[in-house]
Amino acid sequence: MSKQTSLRIFLGFVAALAGIRLGNGAERRVPVLNLETSLGHFVRIEDSDKPSPGDGKILYYQDPMHPWYRSDKPGIAPDCGMKLVPVYASDVPAGALPPGGVQISPARQQIMGVTSARAEYRTIDQVIHATGQVAVDESRISSVSTRVSGWVQKVFVDSTFQHVKKGEPLFTVYSPELLAAEQEYLLALKASKTLGQSSLVEVNGYGTSLLEAARMRLSLLDITPEQIQCLETTGKPEREITIYSPAMGHVLERKVFPNQYVTPETELYKIVDHTSMWILAEIYESDIPYVSEGQQAVVTAEAIPGKRFVGRVNFVEPHLMEETRTERVRMEFRNPDLKLEPGMFVNVELHRGMGRQLTVPVDAVLDSGTQQRVFVDRGKGVFEPRIVTVGSRSGNYAVILSGLKAGDQVVTRANFLIDSESNLRESAEGMK
């Protein structure tokens, strides 16, 4: 480019910014869009309309941003104000392009903002995101009831959600049936001592068998070995028997009150252990094939910032919910510090390693709904459409199952513009 041409470009640019009067005496503002300043190129409009030596015959003029707009004369595109660029016969060599392929000059590629990336093998860790809710681990729920009928005397744990330890006293009960069983045991104990002094083996064994039967009956009535030992020591039956907690946890339900008459079928307490929790999440239908039992799950919660919980999928429901087109997945998490609480909403990530897979950036794939394709950069401005089969996605990458090989250069930006020009070219060739 000559110094004179450079000077004219500079003056035109200054005129566009300042709106000064040009040499013909008429006030005129040159649109900034006519000088490709956004791309850092100062190309004089008049010069771009003229074919340079070796360019060949101009076939038509085209909008670089909307390639489907063509004109047989130079000018400005009516929709975006871009300068129409010439397309030369040398840009479209007959029979040299693959089916649906297009050829775009480097200058036009720069204007369109074409970028590309290489198809490469990567180690893929697929992550499925879902929203979950914390629930009680049903395998850690304990029900408390008595094995005798009687009247409740004292209640030590008298509120819902109260934390209890295993072996902690819950309430006392007076039961005539239990009192009679204690008295039978004391009589069997005395008889065993008396018959044990006999020289006859049969008599001695009878006393021992009688004592063991009385002890077994107390055990079946939920009397602990410590309580039986206390009974042997004192030699007096206890009018009230204390019922202890069978597990550690929180009182989920409390249905026992003083002076209440209870029977063996009455549920008095429901205690749940919160050191292990379930999280229920709904997985979309398209993600179901990638979820299985034993899969690692990571959970975060807005109520617990900075904390990540790691667990496992322990059950996948076999039925799809038709209303939401989702399937419920159950995960188990350790909760030693009791941070996870029932009803809390959490964010779930299900991780699944897929090994090394051929991948391209997600932006490279054009999905029409019936097929997926990419544009392969063949070099020298030639772009070839390629039908591909896309597998799962991981982050910004899509797995390519077929249609590409490692090393293929695919378009990742402005590919929709190239696709429009490719479709236009195929339509024009079909009309011939």
β-partners of residue 71 are 61
Same domain, 166 and 257: yes
**Listed residue (298, 310, 301) closest to 335, CA to CA:** 310
- Is residue 23 in a domain? yes
CATH of the domain at 379: 2.40.420.20
Same domain, 336 and 417: no
Segments forming the whole domain that contains residue 343: 127-137+274-354
Single out the residue in 354, 383, 410 at which a domain terminates.
354
- Is residue 208 in a domain? yes
Same domain, 350 and 381: no
Same domain, 95 and 10: yes
- Is residue 7 in a domain? yes
Alpha carbons within 13 angstroms on the beta-carbon side of residue 20 total 9
pLDDT at residue 198, as a whole number: 63
Consecutive H or E run containing 402: strand 397-402
Decide the pairing of beta strands 345-361 and 397-402: antiparallel
Q: DSSP characters for 76-89?
A: B-TTT-PBPEEEEG
Q: Tell me the one-letter amino acid at 197.
A: Q
pLDDT at residue 431, as a whole number: 55
Same domain, 304 and 262: no
Single out the residue in 354, 374, 392 at which a domain terminates.
354
pLDDT, one tens digit for every residue, the chain (432 residues):
444 444 444 444 444 444 433 333 333 333 333 333 333 333 333 344 444 444 456 767 877 766 667 787 888 888 777 888 887 655 555 456 777 888 888 888 888 889 999 999 998 888 889 999 999 999 999 999 999 999 999 999 999 999 999 999 999 999 999 999 999 988 888 888 877 666 666 666 677 788 888 889 888 888 888 888 888 888 888 888 899 999 999 999 999 999 999 999 999 999 999 999 999 999 999 888 889 999 999 999 999 999 999 999 999 999 999 888 999 999 999 999 999 999 999 999 998 877 888 999 999 999 888 889 999 998 888 899 999 999 888 778 899 999 999 999 999 998 888 888 888 777 766 555
Same domain, 42 and 90: yes
Return the SS3 of 412: strand
Same domain, 258 and 302: no
- Is residue 109 in a domain? no
Torsion angle (degrees, nearest 10) of CA 349, 355, 358, 361: 20
Phi and psi at residue 131, in whole multiples of 5°? -105, 135
Give how many domains the chain has, as a whole number.
4
- Is residue 211 in a domain? yes
pLDDT at residue 302, as a whole number: 92
C-alpha–C-alpha distance, residues 243 and 223, integer Å: 8
pLDDT at residue 105, as a whole number: 85
C-alpha–C-alpha distance, residues 356 and 284, integer Å: 25
- Is residue 160 in a domain? yes
Which residues neighbour 432 within 8 Å (Cβ) at sequence distance 6 or greater? none
Same domain, 220 and 150: yes
Same domain, 218 and 244: yes
CATH of the domain at 298: 2.40.30.170
Query: Per residue in 332-341, pLDDT tens?
Result: 999 999 999 9
- Is residue 348 in a domain? yes
Same domain, 295 and 253: no
Phi and psi at residue 154, in whole multiples of 5°? -120, 145
C-alpha–C-alpha distance, residues 36 and 323, integer Å: 53
Q: Are 345 and 132 in contact (CB under 8 A)?
A: yes
β-partners of residue 254 are 269
C-alpha–C-alpha distance, residues 344 and 336, integer Å: 16
C-alpha–C-alpha distance, residues 359 and 406, integer Å: 9
- Is residue 284 in a domain? yes
The pTM (predicted TM-score) of the whole model is 0.59
Q: Are 159 and 254 in contact (CB under 8 A)?
A: yes
Place of tokens 């109260």: 162
Single out the residue in 310, 329, 354 at which a domain terminates.
354
Q: Tell me the one-letter amino acid at 94.
A: A
Same domain, 154 and 223: yes
Same domain, 165 and 196: yes
